[in-house]
Amino acid sequence: MSKEKTQKIYYYDSFDHDFAETKNQDYKIPSDYKWMHISPIYHALSLVLYAVVVVLDLIYMKLFAHITVKNRHLLLKARLFGGYYLYSNHTQTFGDVVNPFAMTFPTRPSIICSPSNLGIPVVGKLLPMAGAIPIPDNIDDFKKFNQTISRRIKIGDCIVIYPEQHLWPYYTKIRPLSDAAFHFPIKVRKPVYVATTTYQKSRIFKKPKITIYIDGPFKASEDLSKKDAQKRLKYEVQKTMERRAKHSTFEYVTYRKKSKK
């Protein structure tokens, strides 16, 4: 993997380190947060916002981020199953928020995200209308959170999950995946797909070009206990990501573990 003198170096204590740099990192979901909406006006505005984001995302992916998506036809076929899950590594600050809109089109994505995203001025308030589902920070909201995910996938949405949990910009390997992220396909059994973001050196730009590989479908085993089926599914997704991550041939950011004093 090639390196340059101008590259950034990030230091971390453990894989739980989060390199997200939003101004409202400690944002909390309001107590009156509405998890599901029934208003026709809200849904009409949501559809308009979705269309706008798809168009803007296509422009961003092609003209600014230089992204190529391999095997996107697999996600087009996934529409035959109705809703489905899409697991991805978490290495793009902005791209991981918007890229699923173009990748999964015409299926609408519901993206599980950190509550801090909702704290972003102006844009944060629009994210739930676009499809974002914030992770609760209290037990009372987790029931509503799970109900929202189940409802979204049953009506045909793509549930986008980042099982590495924390953002590591331009990281070229795969970190340990969260066990909890894999209980959703056990609760509502729909196909699972994997999107692995990889990086290659650009001949023109300083930042690397991006290639996203789509794999799947994977299905939770019905012959195993729920716990074992969850572990098996996690293993398959992890190995798929690790295999695809080998296509990263350029290290734009170097990650080094802090030495113990």
- DSSP structural state of residue 65: S
pLDDT (0 to 100) of residue 22: 64
pTM of the model: 0.93
Query: What whole-number distance in Å separates Cα of residue 184 and Cα of residue 202?
Result: 37
Per CATH, the architecture of 21-249 is what?
3-Layer(aba) Sandwich (3.40)
- Phi, psi torsion values for 193, nearest 5 degrees: -120, 160
Query: What whole-number distance in Å separates Cα of residue 179 and Cα of residue 233?
Result: 10
State which residues of the chain have pLDDT below 50.
3-6
| 52-87 exposure pattern, b = at least 16 Cβ within 10 A, e = fewer | ebbeebbebbeeebbbebbebebbeebeeeebbbbb
Query: Among residues 169, 194, 216, 163, which one has the least CA distance to residue 100?
Result: 194
Query: What whole-number distance in Å separates Cα of residue 90 and Cα of residue 113?
Result: 11
Per-residue pLDDT tens over the stretch 236-247: 999 999 999 999
